[in-house]
Amino acid sequence: MEIFESNEELQKEATAPLKENNIVAILENFGEVIFGGSYVYGTMVDRDIDIAVVVEKNIIRGKKLSTSY
């Protein structure tokens, strides 16, 4: 039971900055955002999030990454 409680707490900690900083919306400018790993499967034991962004070939070329979104 302790592992599940730890996972729930870690998922809450991980979700907060994603929402507060609009991370998904920013990444969606470049392609499809896919979450993976323990964040998705509910098995978090450490503070990390696996995020992949599927982009079309050369879509980033000419785009400027910025924190001003």
9, part of any domain: yes
53 within 8 A of 33, measured Cβ to Cβ: yes
64, part of any domain: no
63, part of any domain: no
pLDDT at res. 55:
84
pLDDT at res. 27:
93
pLDDT at res. 34:
97
25, part of any domain: yes
Backbone angles phi, psi at 40, to 5 degrees: -75, -40
33, part of any domain: yes
Residue with tokens 């001003």: 68
3 state DSSP class of 11: helix
Its domain, for residue 24, covers 2-54
pTM: 0.70
68, part of any domain: no
Q: What is the chain's pLDDT, residue by residue, as a tens digit (69 residues)?
A: 465 678 889 999 999 999 999 999 999 988 999 999 999 988 888 888 999 999 876 665 556 555 555
67, part of any domain: no
Burial 29-39 (b: 16+ CB within 10 A, else e): eeeebeeeebb
66, part of any domain: no
When divided into structural domains, the chain yields a total of: 1
